[in-house]
Amino acid sequence: MDLQTPLTAASLAERLGAPWRGDGTLLITGINEIHHVRAGDLSFVDHPRYYGPALASAASVILIDQDRECPPGKALIIVPQPFTVYNQLVWDERPARDWQQAIDPSARVGQGSTIAPGARIGPGARIGQDCYIGPNATIGEGVTLGNRVVIGAGAVIGEEAFYFKRTPEGLVPWRSGGTVVLEDDVAIGANCNIARGVSSATTIGKGTKIDALVQIGHDCRIGQHCILAAQVGVAGNTTIGDWCVLQGQVGVAQNLRIGDRSILLAQSGVGKNLEGSQEYFGSPAQEAWSAFRELALLRALRKGK
């Protein structure tokens, strides 16, 4: 997420009362968790296992729980609980906002768009032209819809990410600093849930059509002109290419990449990256004809042939 008011590494360290190493003049322009960091971002690390990847990432400023040698071109701020500080910074940038009206006064609804009874449009949301928002649907804070987008009844676009930090006291939710972007001509079925990004935008590409009861996790990137049938579930931070088809009840694990023009047959379970332009089946998903041959052999073995 981008900061409304950038600040330097040294000024943040002073505000926190924390020691720092490296270049204190570096300007912090955003806050991002490790999967989406860019130059200018602040991120955090709190486990030795991840020190190397964090220090080698694109992040300019890193909250860290141990004093380490600072790589060139970066700044480290040493704090006992990096996640707690990181999460509070996100809360400071995106505080809780109370919705008093069905369409928040700060939202913008384009010409020709229809908002059905019971629908709610959150603060800072942007609805394009000729959209349809179905009954009892919710468009969350800061969500952006392109033109001619259709949202089915009861769908929730931009709920908080299902993302937690495990601590000795229990599971602490990350404050979601990201948003959701639905590009032109996207259609979302009834009772779908598309989670906002933890620190970036969950994005549904132009022309993609999503059936009812589909769950899209935080920070996912769904390509253009895809079809996702009923009860598909895509876990967080997964990227699906253009012109893909996910048939009913397909499940996709987190942090994966599925290539363009992939077809995933019904009830397949995806646990690894998949190349594009192929048809897949099974759990774990594999090339469809290979899966069918294995099933045929198993049936033959059961019959004693």
Residues marked active site are found at: 218
Instruction: Report CA-CA distances (Å) from 280 to 223, 242, 266.
Output: 18, 16, 9
Residue 276 near residue 261, CB atoms below 8 Å: yes
**What are the structure tokens assigned to 267, written together?**
């009830």
Cis-peptide, bond into residue 173, ω within 30° of zero: no
3-state helix, strand, coil in the chain (%, to 5): 15, 30, 50
Which among 88, 83, 67 is positioned nearest to 22, based on CA atoms?
A: 67
Measured between alpha carbons, how far is 204 from 288 in angstroms, rounded to an integer? 26
Instruction: Report CA-CA distances (Å) from 130 to 108, 138, 144, 148, 174.
Output: 13, 17, 14, 5, 35
Residue 38 near residue 57, CB atoms below 8 Å: no
Measured between alpha carbons, how far is 237 from 262 in angstroms, rounded to an integer? 18
